[in-house]
A and B are shown apart, each in its own frame.
Chain A
Amino acid sequence: MKPALAYAAADGTFAATWLLLAFPAVGAAILLLGGRRANRWGPVLACLAAGAAFVLGLVLFAAMLGRAGDDRAISQHLFSWIPVNGFQVDAGLLLDPLSMCFVLLVTGVGTLIHIYALGYMAHDPNRRRFFGYLNLFVVAMLLLVLGNNFLALYVGWEGVGLASYLLIGFWSARPSAATAAKKAFIVNRVGDVGLSIAIMLMFATLGTTSYAGVLGGIGALGANSGTVTAIALLLLLGACGKSAQFPLQSWLLDAMEGPTPVSALIHAATMVTAGVYLIARSAPIFNLTSDGRLLVTIVGAVTLAIGAIIGCAYDDIKKVLASSTMSQIGYMFLAVGLGPAAYAIGILHLLTHGFFKATMFLGAGSVMHGMNDTVDMRRYGGLRTVMPITFWTFAMGYLAIIGFPGWAGFFSKDKIIEAAFDKGGTSGWVLGTVALIGAGVTAFYMTRLMIMTFFGERRWDPDAHPHESPAVMTGPMIVLALGSVISGFALTFGGGLQQFLEPVVGRSAEEGIHTISPTVLTLITLLVVAGGAAAAYRQYGTQAVPRTAPQAVSPVTVAARRNLYGDAVNESLLMRPGQYLTRALVFVDGRGVDGVVNGLAAGIGGSSGRLRHAQTGFVRSYALSMFGGAALVLAVLLLGRLG
């Protein structure tokens, strides 16, 4: 089968692509195997490894810009990984504009967060292990975005799941952390099942798992054919698991048990957006199935709404940010589900979100650092003056996420809302309206967070002595805040990102065919956002915030506080029946399957116990039985003779 996609060979600068993985891999290996000797210099080494990968990424980026637009996909063959007759999987890397975006995001934001963690984790006795895990995550994430076939992607996919598991459960002495880590891994595995079945289906129908073969050959199956839709839906299942989308969203809130730099890097900026990457990477598949795309948009819209609603109810600052992440990834799913028109917009939002959400998470970490690791926003208040840098950087992230004109989110989120309306038809209106209302709710909960944390009266615990964080933490925050301000403008300047991604995801929609004029829509969006912010100000800015959460609240708030009963559903539908089934099967195995065997043994033993009583010890009775036996044999012989 000849692939319709051809990739350039990795020569020149690009021969070093594999080093992107090697730097952090070596770092992780040294840190995790190095033992106590590495305690002192290990964390710095980890930062250097991530930094080296970032620098290399920049070099490769420059080299990529030097090539022609349709010659920017470079494939590097490393070695033959799993060769069995028709099933030939190579270990190989693919560096194209799409993966380039992720490489820079992962290594860039990753390096900053490594540095931040130097300060944040300074007093943790196990920080060498922590940094080892962080480097491991960078390797896995890079493998995920750089693999040149779906199985390599799957390796990275599960690898980031592992890193996430290790880092959520980093403070494993806390049972809640261990449980949250396990939950994250298991829920991710549910998605992974979808992804792996999708890969099997690709192999069974196309005989290959490489991007070149699958994405190039998928057209042979025909648009909207059953197989294409099946592959798309299975990929979507995988994406939902990794990106915490409905119905597999429940793990992300619990994942906040991990150290805050982890929440910033893995559960906000990079790993959870892997689902978006998967769908964008599989664009040729999704382009062929309108049902698949529709479902992606529905999943995105539903999660967007769920995340936004939940975000309004939590008092835990990290959980508010986590539900906001869910919601924002919902926007990205909505965008990539719209098809070729909006892939680039989705990726744009992914990148800007990477900046502003990381900014805010690091800000939250800085606040927690100063407040004895309290996460309850009702114990904050008035931190604006004691933590000026944190406040200002956080404010940049805040303005970016609500889409304040000029800030990053304004360029990406508004575009998504616009694209949703432009989809046309009833579904376009519904999706657009959901996205629009979501923007308002986002403004509401983020304003609430800002007010409760940085404004109003000081509701601190008596032993809290908030202080600004050290420079090693504020430095990365400032850089990321800068990104939150300018990234949106910089990436869209002259259609930059869209043109850059065009060879991979296709051309965006033509300008000029709009359901609602962009200017009008922008104004409407701004109005909705302002309304959300004003509502939050009226409720939290003008009246005192109680230190304990009020109990007399509407049923909606109760439901939102309980994660819209997502966990309750999981527990009653999956966990409880699973436990009963386990107990029942243990019983069946012991009493049933093994019981049959042991029963047989007992039966033989019992009957032989009864039979042996025939051995009375009286010679005469033996003799009688012999006589009887002889007579019987004789009789049978005689009868046989006669008969």
Chain B
Amino acid sequence: MTVTSPVGTDFPWLFVVGGLPLLGAVVVAALPRGRDVLAKRTALVVALLTLMATIAMGAAFDPGRGGGQQMTFQFGRSYAWITNFGIRFAVGVDGIALVLIALATILVPVVILASWHAAEEGRRSTKTFFALVLVLETMMIGVFAATDVFLFYVFFEAMLIPMYFLIGSYGGPRRSYAAVKFLLYSLLGGLLMLASVIGLYVVSGQQLPGGGTFDFATLATLHISPGVEKWLFLGFFIAFAIKAPLFPFHTWLPDAGAEAPTGGAVLLVGVLDKVGTFGFIRYCIPLFPNASRYFAPVVLTLAVIGIFYGAFLAMGQRDLKRFVSYTSVAHFGFIGMGVFALTSQGQAGSVLYMVNHGLSTGALFFVVGFLIDRRRTRLAAEYGGVGSVAPMMAGVFLVVALATLSLPGLSTFVSEFLVLVGTFTRYRALAIVATVGIILAALYILLVYQRTMTGPVTAGNERLRDLNAREAWVVAPLVALMFVLGVYPKPVLDVITPAVNATLAQVKAHDPQPTSGVPAAAAPASVPTVAPAAVTAGTVTAGTVDGSSK
């Protein structure tokens, strides 16, 4: 079939990248009590080393391998783990996983720097906070790198533990409610996924002569009966939809996002949630191609609802952190839409969107967090006219706000437009409706900008400090990346596109051809190029995916 097994010829970069933070976490945790500054510095250095290792790994990565037809994993390593059930400790990355690992390793040092004083009021010690962040980094890298479905599941669940403690120990006033809600939601999804994982094992045991396996590459070659495939798909899908979160599985996010410490919220929304959308593209679609096509209209509808729902709710929020969380619900709608449009533009756009959303929403959380650090309140109404007293803060807020509304020139635009155009070529009506959502994006973010940053200075803000050097260094790399990736996203797209092509080849989905691009004789006027208003959702779904391979 079209999937090759991990090969072990490269330098084991993944163990370096994934192992460094864990090692660092142990070191930080073992430091004597009271050496908080040392713990912070150690954590920062470890995170930066990990970032450098990731950059080196990215340099060694060869995006062209596999030729866009085979799902190819590089830097692969596979060791026997639980032999009775054919479970292996197998890792490897393709272009999609690589950019997400890069996102995680970029955000962690920034989070550590931003959280310099965040742990001081927590219920646990400062060093524990930083150790937890580093453990979380390992888990995040692991979940993207796993090529054994069971190992993926293990990382998927293990990721919850450090996050639970970060929210529950260092969070806001309602932290226990938020932490438990987050945990229960995720566990529910995880259990459904576990059921499907076991189901996959059973199916593979029935089909393969050597007994069951959890190896992704092998599982992707199975021929599952349609009914079973749908159920297994749903198990994975619901787990990922909760994690992403897709409407209507989103209600844990505003609570968790609002109560988590700022750094935790950034990692939660910036990276952890991406595991959901990553799961769609890595697991749901290649493992269950037929079910993916079957459920695509449903998922797309949910995604579009999410875009509007998240936008309207963001407008109705008075709490700044809840506001940011709801904007993410809207953005995850876009990501989900791009993935399930099953076009290369849509999926490449979605993967890029994951990265960009991590940067922009991360930065937005940081700026909001800086504000909250100063005034100790999350209510937007308490802020007003901040731009007059803290111009730098207002400037950064504005740039980040513009990234949130996907202004061309910033990275988010590239991804959002790719998603929309990718969806448009196959589902016109949906894409048109989703495009209207960009008006709402402008509305909710500019509304908040106006309320907090402009107008007369409200009482209590007269002496608000502008960004200090540390805070400026936190947002500077993110803002710089937004600009760079907005103007020149090609290097990242070049890594993503072959992986996306391989995924789509696995589903046998082809990009729709331009309806008039072919010679005029071969494309009679009956090709549906009617006015978009006339294309209803019903007729669009009828001609969904070109199922025939060329």
A173-B388, A185-B442, A585-B316 known; A83 vs B493 contact (CB < 8 Å):
yes
B-binding segment of A60-68, A220-228, A266-274: A220-228
Is B197 an interface position by the 8 A CB rule? no
Is the beta-carbon distance between B454 and A158 smaller than 8 angstroms? no
Q: A186-B446, A206-B517 are in contact. Are A227 and B531 (CB under 8 A)?
A: yes
Q: Do residues A186 and B516 form an inter-chain contact, with CB atoms below 8 A? A: no
Whether, in the assembled complex, B321 has its beta carbon less than 8 Å from a beta carbon of chain A, the answer is no
| Closest CB in chain A relative to B392 CB, distance in Å | 9
B439, CB-defined interface residue at 8 Å = yes
Contact with B along A124-168 (1 / 0, CB 8 A): 000000000000000000000000000100110111001001000
Q: Which among B345, B409, B420, B533 is the interface contact of A159 at CB below 8 angstroms?
A: B409
Q: Which residues of A contact B501 (CB under 8 A)?
A: 85
Q: In the bound complex, do residue A186 and residue B439 qualify as a contact, i.e. CB atoms below 8 Å apart?
A: yes
Contact of B446 with A185 in the complex, beta carbons under 8 Å = yes
Chain A contacts with B in 274-322, Cβ cutoff 8 A: none
Most buried by B among A84, A583, A594: A84
- CB of A84 within 8 A of CB of B516, answer no
Interface flags, A163-204, vs B, CB<8A=1, else 0? 001000100111101110010011001101100110111011
Find out whether the CB atom of B315 lies under 8 angstroms from the CB atom of A204.
no
A86 contacts the other chain (CB 8 A): yes
A229 at the interface (CB under 8 A from B): yes
Binds A, one of B134-142, B219-227, B429-437: B429-437
Cross-interface CB contact of A173 among B348, B349, B455, B487, cutoff 8 Å: B455
Contact B529 A205 (CB under 8 A): yes
B490 with A79: CB separation less than 8 A = yes
Which chain B positions have C-beta within 8 A of A151? 417
Among the listed A87, A155, A582, A586, which residue makes an inter-chain contact with B409, where contact means beta carbons less than 8 Å apart? A155
B-side contacts of A565, CB under 8 Å = none
Q: Which residues of A contact B362 (CB under 8 A)?
A: none
Tell me which residues across on chain B come within 8 A of A601, comparing CB atoms: 184
Which of A208-223 touch B at CB < 8 Å?
Answer: 208, 217, 220-222
Contact of B428 with A204 in the complex, beta carbons under 8 Å: yes
B511 at the interface (CB under 8 A from A): yes
Chain B stretch 427-460: residues in CB contact (< 8 A) with chain A = 428, 431-432, 435-436, 438-439, 442-443, 446-447, 450, 453-457
- Picked from A87, A158, A230, A589, the residue with its CB within 8 Å of the CB of B313 is A589
**Within the complex, what minimum Cβ distance (angstroms) separates A274 from chain B?**
14
A440 to B112, CA, bound (A): 68
CB of B489 closer than 8 Å to a CB of A = yes
**Would B408 and A193 count as touching, CB distance under 8 A?**
no
Q: Establish whether residues A220 and B388, one from each chain, have CB atoms under 8 Å apart when the complex forms.
A: no
Interface size on B, residues (CB 8 A): 74
Q: Is the CB of A189 within 8 A of B438?
A: yes
Q: A193 touching B349 by the CB < 8 A rule?
A: no
Q: Which chain B residues border A583 with CB–CB below 8 Å?
A: 316
Instruction: Assess whether A593 is interfacial by the CB under 8 Å rule.
Output: yes
Q: State which of B425, B490, B517 has its C-beta within 8 Å of the C-beta of A81.
A: B490
Contact B531–A207 (Cβ < 8 Å): no
Q: Are A200 and B420 in contact (CB under 8 A)?
A: yes
Q: How far does the alpha carbon of A206 sit from the alpha carbon of B527 in the complex, in Å?
A: 13
Mark B484-500 against chain A: 1 for CB-CB distance below 8 A, else 0: 00011110011001000
Judge if B530 is at the interface, Cβ distance under 8 Å: yes
Say yes or no: is B71 at the interface (Cβ < 8 Å to chain A): no
Quote the shortest CB–CB distance from A597 to chain B (angstroms).
6
Interface pair A175/B438, CB less than 8 Å apart: no
User: Does residue A624 face the partner (Cβ distance < 8 Å to B)?
Assistant: no
Q: Is B320 an interface residue (CB 8 A)?
A: no
Assembly CA distance A229 to B534 (angstroms): 13
Contact of B530 among A86, A190, A206, A226 (CB under 8 A): A226
A1 adjacent to chain B (CB < 8 Å): yes
Among B251, B309, B345, B488, point to the contact of A84 (Cβ < 8 A): B345
Nearest CB of A to B89, in Å? 34
Task: Check A204–B424 contact: CB distance below 8 A.
Answer: yes
- Asked if B344 is at the interface of the complex by the 8 Å CB criterion, the answer is yes
Tell me, in angstroms, the Cα distance from A159 to B402 when the chains sit together.
Answer: 11
B278 to chain A, nearest CB (A): 18
**B349 & A226 in contact (Cβ 8 Å cutoff):** no
Q: Are B385 and A173 in contact (CB under 8 A)?
A: yes
A101 to B348, CA, bound (A): 38
Tell me if B424 and A172 are in contact (CB < 8 A).
Answer: no
Instruction: Tell me the nearest residue of chain B to A1, going by C-beta.
Output: B517
B248 within 8 A of A: yes
Does B421 interact with chain A (Cβ within 8 Å)?
yes
Please provide the 8 A-B residue pairs with the shortest distance between their CB atoms, ordered closest to farther.
Answer: A207-B514, A586-B316, A178-B454, A155-B408, A172-B454, A594-B251, A200-B424, A207-B517
**What are 11 of the A-B contact pairs (CB < 8 Å)?**
A157-B408, A159-B408, A175-B456, A179-B450, A193-B436, A196-B438, A201-B424, A206-B516, A207-B514, A597-B185, A597-B251
Known: A172-B455, A227-B530; 5 extra A-B contacts, CB below 8 A, are A84-B493, A85-B511, A155-B409, A204-B515, A582-B313
